[in-house]
Amino acid sequence: MKYNDNGTFKEIHIKALDTLPVGTEVDYDGEIIPNGWTEVESLDDKLVNVDTTQPSSKEKIWIQSNENIFDGVLESGTINEYGENIENSNRKRSKNYLPCKPNTTYTIIFDSQANVIVMFYNSSKTFISQLPGPNTWTSQPFTFTTPSNAAYIRFISYTTETTKVLIKVGTSVTSTELNINDSMYILGDDDIYRKFSPQNNIYSLEEIKIGTWIDGKPLYRKILIGTFANTTNFIEMIYNVSQLVNIGGTIQDRPWNYFINTTSQTAELDVVLIGNVINFRLRATDRLANQAYKIILEYTKTTD
Query: SS3 of 107, please?
Result: strand
Q: How far lies 35's CA from each of 89, 90, 167, 193, in Å?
A: 49, 49, 35, 14
Looking at residue 258, its pLDDT comes to 67
Cα–Cα distance, 277 to 271 (Å, whole number): 10
- More reliable by pLDDT, 172 or 64: 172
DSSP 195: E
Backbone phi, then psi, for 217, in 5-degree steps? Answer: -80, 150
pTM: 0.50
Looking at residue 185, its pLDDT comes to 77
Backbone phi, then psi, for 177, in 5-degree steps? Answer: -70, -20
Greatest distance between any 2 Cα atoms in the chain: 76
Query: SS3 of 131, please?
Result: strand
DSSP 276: T
CB-side neighbour CA atoms (13 Å) of 288: 26
What does the domain layout of the chain look like in residue ranges?
1-64+182-199, 74-175, 208-301
The answer for 279, left when phi > 0, alpha when psi is -120 to 50, beta otherwise, is: beta
Looking at residue 197, its pLDDT comes to 53
Looking at residue 284, its pLDDT comes to 58
Q: How large is the average pLDDT for residues 134-152?
A: 94
Q: 74-175 has which CATH code?
A: 2.60.120
Any bridge partners for residue 179, and if so which?
none
pLDDT at 245 over 80: yes
Cα–Cα distance, 151 to 123 (Å, whole number): 5
pLDDT tens-digit series, residues 144-153: 999 999 999 9
- More reliable by pLDDT, 18 or 142: 142
pLDDT at 201 over 70: no
